[in-house]
Structure formats: structure tokens, C-alpha cells
Amino acid sequence: MENTMTKPRIMIVDDNEELLEELENLLTLGGYDVVAISDGTKVFDVALKNKPDLILLDLKMSPKSGFQIADEVKNAVFLKDVPVVAMTGFFTEKQHHLMMKLCGIRTSILKPFRPLNLITKIEFALGKYFDDNITEAT
């Protein structure tokens, strides 16, 4: 996982190109090594090549949803220990929280979010803590 000699590597997966670019800039400025992809079907190839310390994942994508990707990540031998932080503006009901936990999502953040809140969620997830409150506090 995270090497103390290097910056944590965050893989961002979101099909919104504008948000993807903003997040990439924010996290790079925040001291992270960032790999950004807009195609959820390429998560495994990119992850195998780049070995992320954390995956920041949009839940509402197609053709593969973030739920599907998170479940596959949880079951992949080389990714099963990589924490997933979900980003969503749509999946906020209690049943969605259960789905997130079942898919191995460590925590989530509601869109739109404040940059500091995102960094806090990432640091929390990298610290190997479990967030029982899977939504962002406002």
C-alpha cells in the first residue's frame, strides 16, 4: 500500500471530464500522485499499471456503474485492499448506503463537496479507519 517515501497515489474514476480535471488539479496540489480516468471499463488495466493507494469513484456512470466497479475491485486479488471512496449526488437513501458497504466502499462524499471535505475523506480512508457514517457531514 502507501509507501512513506512517495506520495499516495489516488486513482479518480469519473465520466464527467470537467470534474475529473478539477479533481486531478486539486489532489495534485494537495500533494497526491493522481491518475485520472473517465472510462470505468478501464479501471483494472489502469490500476494494474499504476497501483493506486486509493480509488475515488463516481457511482453514476455507464456502461458500468460505480457499484459494479467497487464490487469488482473488492473481489480482485490485487485491488481488494485498496480503499474506495464513492462520490455521488444521487445515491443518498439508506438502501444505497447498504449497497455501498456491500460493494466494499469505505466511505462516500456527496456532490457537490468542498475541497477540504474531500481531502478529509481521502485521508480518513488512507488511514484504514472505517466510517460508519457513510455520508458527508455538512
CB within 8 A of 97, min separation 6: which ones? 108, 134, 135
pTM of the model: 0.85
* CATH code of the domain covering residue 40: 3.40.50.2300
Looking at the domain assignment, is residue 4 inside a domain?
A: no
Asked if pLDDT for residue 110 goes beyond 70, the answer is yes
Q: Tell me: the pLDDT tens digits for 70-82?
A: 999 999 999 989 9
Looking at the domain assignment, is residue 132 inside a domain?
A: no
Number of independent structural domains in the chain: 1
How would residue 96 be classed by pLDDT, with cut points 50, 70 and 90?
confident
Of residues 109 and 132, which shows the higher confidence score? 109
For 114, left (φ over 0), alpha (ψ -120 to 50), or beta?
beta
Looking at the domain assignment, is residue 92 inside a domain?
A: yes
Looking at the domain assignment, is residue 93 inside a domain?
A: yes
In the prediction, which pLDDT does 131 show? 47
Looking at the domain assignment, is residue 60 inside a domain?
A: yes
Looking at the domain assignment, is residue 83 inside a domain?
A: yes
Of residues 124 and 92, which shows the higher confidence score? 124
